[in-house]
Amino acid sequence: MVPISMNKMNNAENVTSQYQSDGNLSIRIKLHSKYSTNRKGWFPWLFEQYEFKNGYRILELGCGNGEQWQNRIDELPSGCTLILSDFSEGMVKIIWERYSSHKNILPMKIDIQDIPFPDNCFDVVIANHMLYHVPDLSKAIFEVHRVLKEGGRFYAATNGNGGMRTFLHNARKAIKPGSPDLQDGFSFNLQNGAELLSKCFRDVHRHDYEDSLHITETKDLIDWMKSTAAISDYSELEFDKLYEYFENIRIKQGAIDFQKELGLFVSTK
């Protein structure tokens, strides 16, 4: 992620603006799909970590455009029900248009801080790359725990405080000496996730996904950064300078290379 103010990251107005449609999200997914060095792929790796059984009730919170379920819904075990939810009405509309032909899918608008289902309702809850957007993180985790059945699992993917975030911050320091140091990282990240989840869940395990980016077209990186503009504090002049900075690296080294830092927490109630 680009260096950003954390109060912007989980500000409801900024998040709503960012995810009114899937345009920005699609740009970010495209960069990783095109340039990731781990050829297994993020979504296939995630599905190796998930455990679904016949008749499971599954809830995904903050599902975005539902890309991870493309060509996978029919592979769910018999009798499974999948609720794909997002805080953004625009994303929910996309889910309706994309998956309405599947009878076991229900798209819904849901705020993770106030999940509209009774206690002990779901076998699996998924929340990938969204918990750091939530204003009241403790309440969100409590709500997930509440709606899970005993023995149910919560899958929560997130970023670390290093990786792309640190790399891009260092680039900004290079083109703008005197830029402020990195502030506290994501409110929910690989470094603090286990501690936060353990307040509600009896068993929490972290699984890291080893990957990096090997970017050969500078414009794609800049487009990715611009896709976060609603929650970042870059100016157009900074984008121009960053393009020049990264283009020089690409010319000298043949590509722009840096490590990612992401993974998945699997928590059992």
Query: What is the pLDDT, as a whole number, of residue 23?
Result: 59
Evaluate if residue 10 carries a pLDDT over 50. no
71: amino acid identity, one letter: N
Evaluate if residue 13 carries a pLDDT over 90. no
Query: What is the pLDDT, as a whole number, of residue 60?
Result: 98
Greater confidence (146 vs 185) lies with: 146
| Arithmetic mean of pLDDT, 241-267 | 95
170 is written with which tokens? 């260092």
Asked if 267 and 201 count as a contact pair (C-beta separation under 8 A), the reply is yes
| Arithmetic mean of pLDDT, 208-220 | 95
Q: Where are the alpha helices (DSSP H) in the chain?
A: 6-9, 12-18, 23-35, 42-49, 89-99, 137-147, 163-175, 193-197, 218-226, 236-253
Q: In 3-state terms, what secondary structure has residue 257?
A: strand
Q: Running DSSP on this structure, what letter comes out for residue 113?
A: G
Evaluate if residue 228 carries a pLDDT over 80. no
7: amino acid identity, one letter: N
Instruction: List the single range of 67-71, 106-110, 116-120, 233-237 with lowest mean pLDDT.
Output: 233-237
Distance CA 58, CA 66 (A): 14
The per-residue pLDDT for range 43-58, each reduced to its tens digit, is 999 999 999 999 999 9
Residue 168's pLDDT band, with cuts at 50, 70 and 90, is: confident
201: amino acid identity, one letter: F
Which residue segments constitute the domains of the chain, with CATH numbers given? 6-211+260-268 (3.40.50.150)
Share of the chain above pLDDT 90, in %: 69
Evaluate if residue 2 carries a pLDDT over 50. no
Evaluate if residue 265 carries a pLDDT over 60. yes
Distance CA 51, CA 3 (A): 34
Evaluate if residue 79 carries a pLDDT over 60. yes
Evaluate if residue 151 carries a pLDDT over 70. yes
Q: In 3-state terms, what secondary structure has residue 251?
A: helix
The label of the residue with tokens 């414009």 reads 219
| Arithmetic mean of pLDDT, 142-153 | 98
Query: What is the pLDDT, as a whole number, of residue 97?
Result: 94
Instruction: List the single range of 12-21, 63-72, 76-85 with lowest mean pLDDT.
Output: 12-21
Mean per-residue pLDDT over the chain, rounded? 88
Residue 229's pLDDT band, with cuts at 50, 70 and 90, is: low
253 is written with which tokens? 């080294």
Evaluate if residue 99 carries a pLDDT over 90. yes
- For the beta sheet containing 122-126, the strands, ordered from the edge strand earlier in sequence to the opposite edge, are 105-109, 81-86, 57-60, 122-126, 148-159, 262-268, 203-209
Distance CA 133, CA 17 (A): 13
Task: Give the other-Cβ count within 10 Å of 39's Cβ.
Answer: 7
Residue 181's pLDDT band, with cuts at 50, 70 and 90, is: low
Query: What is the pLDDT, as a whole number, of residue 232?
Result: 60
What's this model's pTM, rounded to 2 decimal places?
A: 0.84
Beta bridge partners, 155, equal: 126, 266
**109: enclosing H helix or E strand:** strand 105-109
Instruction: List the single range of 6-15, 187-196, 207-216 with lowest mean pLDDT.
Output: 6-15
Share of the chain above pLDDT 70, in %: 86
132 is written with which tokens? 């750091």
264: amino acid identity, one letter: L
Evaluate if residue 267 carries a pLDDT over 80. yes
48 is written with which tokens? 């190796």
121 is written with which tokens? 């309702």
Query: What is the pLDDT, as a whole number, of residue 184?
Result: 61
